[in-house]
Structure formats: C-alpha cells, structure tokens
Structure 1
Amino acid sequence: MSEWEVIAIRYADRNARVRGDSFIFDDDHNAPHPMDYFMWLLRRGGEVILVDTGYDSEEGDRRDRPILLDPREALKPYGLSAEDISIVIVTHLHYDHAGGLHLFPNATLHMQSREMAYATGPCMCHPTLRMPFTGEHICEAVKRLYSGRVTFADGDAEVAEGVTVHRIGGHSKGLQAVRVRTQAGWLCLASDATHFYENVLAEKPFPIVADVGEMLDGFATLRRLASRTELIIPGHDPLVRELFASNTTGGCVLSAGPVKSLPTYG
C-alpha cells in the first residue's frame, strides 16, 4: 500500500505563556514560551482520517482561549466538510483535543479504553485532574459510544493499514500516540505525550500530568515508534511550522519530513 500524507493544521495559539507552564523543572520559569494548537489530517487516495478535533469558539470563550480557525473551516481548503469525516482518532479527551467531537457527526471515534475510564471515573473528583476536561465533551464521547460509534484500543492497535495507535499515558491516563507510514518513514504524532520538542529531547516533564513515570517512559516509546527522532511530532510546538514545509493552505506537510534540523537542548 502507498504511504499516507500527514498535514498539521493550526487552529489556535496562546502567546501569553511562560516556560513554567511547559516544564516542571526549568532554570527560567518566567521566560516567554508560546504554544500552538493543532489537529492533524491523514490522507491516502480517497481515505481520510482526522486526528483530534480541536475545540470551538464557545469553548474558547469559556476558557478565555480564543481560536483562530473553526475546526470545520480548517478542513474546507482540503475539499472536506465536517460531515465527510468518518474516522476520528482521539489521542485523549482534554478540551483542546476532543472539544470539537460534536462538530463531526458522522465520525466513529478511536480511543483508548483507559481514557474513557479515566475521564468518567473517580479521578475526576479532583479539580486539578478534571481541569483539562469539559463535561460536555465527555458526554459527547459517551453518546457516540451508545450509538455504536466508538472503537476502543487497549494498548497497541491498527486503525487502518499504515496507521496504528499506542497508549502512552502520563499526561492523561489513556493518552495515545499515532504512528503513520509516510514517504519519510514512520512518523509519530505524539500529541501531548510531548507538548514540545524540548520535553522529549531534554526529558523534561510537562506540568499537567496524571503519572510522571509514564510520561518519562513515554519519551522513550516515542523514539521507538518513529523511524528517526526528526519524525516525532509534538502536540503544541510552534517550531513545527518552522521545521516543516507549508502547503498553499497554510498547513504543515509532515509526511515529507523536516526541511530544517531539530534544535539541540542541553
């Protein structure tokens, strides 16, 4: 079978952040450290898979984190409507990755069983752990389950030929990465298994974490999943837009590999 094209689509950003928001251990917690928000589009011939859904303007208003682009509008330059999407891989159920589930009514969701259990279980009694989730998004996932449109994995699983998912945990109990066969080799959409290149390359944990040990072990897993380090794609790093070529619609084409070298972190 042929390789998949993988496109990173930025739909939001947050520039009023500091390094203390991104790294538990750091020497300069007050230095600026902006963040991008992405969803990822996988295409191969007539096959289409969406990885994560972003969130909508209503969620942006609620959290005072406005979006730049509605997730539905983000797909139009690729000749796709929200109704065309039949497969959504949900890396985890945090608001910025699953906040647009309701926008894709025809999609079957692929997620880890531990993520559903985590988001609907006793851990959500703790406000600190509950903070990245929004109840309406979890309810949408449950409604999709009861309509027969959720497929669960328990660890590693194949979603389509050349596309597999792998539970990482750490940031959220059922966080999964997505491994995709591309012309550049096996590419790993890490999502929030590493928010930034610096998390994985310098082994610095991100502060929003359910299990620090799993997060640290996950960094090694990401390296195993990708053909080479350059093909690990973090979930929120603005450097993605510098390291990979842009297409005519402003998305970043990841499947051709980076056009610049990765930075070195001490």
Structure 2
Amino acid sequence: MNDWEVIALHYATAIRPAADLVLEADPHEAPGRIDYFIWVVRGPLGVVVVDTGYLPAEGERRGRTLLRHPVEALASIGIDAAAVRDVVLTHLHYDHAGNLAAFPRATFHLQDREMAYGTGRCMCHPRMRVPFHANDVVEAVRMVFAGRVRFHDGDGELLPGLSLHLVGGHSRGLQVVRVARRDGPVVIASDAVHFAAHMQAGKVFPLFADYADVLEGYARLRALAGAGGIILPGHDPSVLTTYTPVSPNASWAVRIGHGAV
C-alpha cells in the first residue's frame, strides 16, 4: 500500500453568527469561528492538491480574514503551485475553487454534476448561487475549453490508494477524497461535513443543495472511513489542535494521522 501523507493547510478564518454555522442554531447562541483549509496528498506517486481556496478580493468582500494566500501556504511546505499536475476540486464554491490560474500545469478533477449545477438553472435562484463566485465558475469553464478538466461521474480511483467519491448534499456535485493508508484511511470530507460536531449530532450547515443528501452523506463518510479511519471536516478549527504541525514554526499546517497531539 502506498503510504500517502495528508496535510491540511489553514489559510483563512472568520467569526460568524451561530445561525450562519448551523441550521438548527439557538438564537441566543454566541458567534463561532469557522476556518478555511486546502489539503495536500503526497507520496511516491506524486502530489495532489485538494481545493485551491478563495481569491483574496472575494474573501474580503464576504468578510473573511485571509491569513496567508493558499499558493504561499503550499510553497511553505515545498510545493510549487506552478508544478502541480493534479488538483481535485471538491466543488465550485468560492472558497474551494479560486486561484485556478495559479496552477498552469494542472489537470482539474471535477464531478460532472458539479459543473452542471454551477452553470445550470439552479444558479437563476439567488439563494442557490450565494456560495458561488461567478468569476471562479467562468474560469473553470475556460479550463474545460483548454482541455484541462477531467470530469468524473460518481466514484473512481485517481491514483492507487487515492479515490474520489460523489456525496453531494452541500453542493450537488460535491466529492470527497479517500486516502488509503497503512494506519487507516483518511477521508478529506471538505464540505460534506463542515464541523465534526454536526455529524455527531445530525445537524446541518445552513447552505445546502439538498438537506436529505447532507444527512445521507454522513453515513457515506462513515462507511468510507471504516472503524479505524479519520473523517476530516472541511471548516473545523479543531483540526489545528487535533493533529501535529508539520514544523514548530507552522502550526497552521498539520499532518493528518493517528499520531494526534
């Protein structure tokens, strides 16, 4: 088995009202923190970047705090974005699919249903298009015409030990990444679950394409991880305290595995 390394890179943060973080929020609950990540999977077979973060101007417009540019975060762990060959886009929301032009050699891996969702009739409805940035979607379409998007229709293997799985729910074509490792699989859940507590309590982040599919997705994540695996939530600050920093001077870059801090 190829022993892939999985790293979460924390690039932005925000304090949001409780109602922005969970659908079932108590109106008296205090605001909470939401963190923004991209992920890296690397090993003898190469480097795969999972998601590309948001464009700084778009994050600022939405009131998010950029801590470090995603491309700079990659460079800090020795990855040149310009040399990356494979990028998985879990979905096309603004905080996951910006900065595509910073990866000039990459093939972008995307689900058929996500492109159809982000460019189709659902975007006629203001609530459905809130998490999308039109310029990012247009850039993704340009990548299609440049021959740089590999579409996936459901589940499939990207590389040995590295597979993509359609979950949907939060966005119609949301996919997660399962990384097979000797110490148990790691499932990069992205926005299939924003916070670990949501899945534990059966609660839902208040932006979704299909409420039922979000809840069904939790069961899918558990099945993909199995009894000894790790489910890595997409926006949970606890990721930074649960796992070990890659270096003493980079607490915002953590190596995912069973050797937790």
Unaligned runs of at least 5 residues, structure 2: none
Aligned match of 2:188: 189
State the secondary structure of the residue aligned to 1:185.
coil
Q: Which residue in 1 is equivalent to 2:12?
A: 12
**Structure 1 gap segments, 5+ residues each:** 261-266
My pick for the range that moved more, 85-94 or 223-232, is 223-232
- Determine the structure 2 residue equivalent to 1:212: 211
Which residues of 2 match residues 74-93 of structure 1 at below 5 A?
Answer: 74-93=73-92
Distance of 2:259 and 2:168 partners within structure 1: 27
Q: Does the Cα contact within 8 Å between 1:19 and 1:32 map onto a contact in 2?
A: yes
Structure 1 pair 29–209 and aligned structure 2 pair: CA distance change class (3 A): farther
- 1-side partners of 2:45 and 2:162: how far apart? 15
**Matched residue SS, 1:190:** strand
* 2:234 corresponding residue in structure 1: 235
35-44 or 19-28, which moves further after superposition? 19-28
1:259 paired residue number = 260
| Contact 2:90/2:176 (8 A) holds in 1 | yes
Structure 2 residue 8 is the aligned partner of structure 1 residue 3:
no
1:143 aligns with 2:108: no
Give the counterpart letter for 1:144 in structure 2.
Answer: M
Instruction: Report the CA distance shift for 1:79/1:46 in structure 2 as closer, same or farther (over 3 A).
Output: farther
Report the residue type matching 1:236 in the other structure: H
Inter-partner Cα distance in structure 1 for 2:160 and 2:27: 44
Question: What CA RMSD, in Å, does the superposition of the two structures yield over aligned residues?
Answer: 1.5
The change in CA–CA distance for 1:86 and 1:24 in structure 2 (over 3 A counts) is: same
2:27 is the counterpart of 1:25: no
User: What CA distance in whole angstroms lies between the structure 2 residues aligned with 1:225 and 1:140?
Assistant: 31
Deviation for aligned residue 1:243: 0.9
Identity of aligned residues (%): 46
Match of 1:221 in 2: 220
- 1:19-38 CA distances to partner (integer Å, 9 max, x unpaired)? 22221113455322101100
What secondary structure is seen at the aligned counterpart in 1 of 2:104?
coil
Query: Relative to 1, partners in 2 of residues 1:228 and 1:252: Cα closer, same or farther, differing over 3 Å?
Result: farther
Residue 96 of structure 1 deviates from its aligned partner by: 0.2
- DSSP-derived class of the 1:80 partner: coil
Task: Report the count of equivalent residues.
Answer: 258
Aligned to 1:53: 52
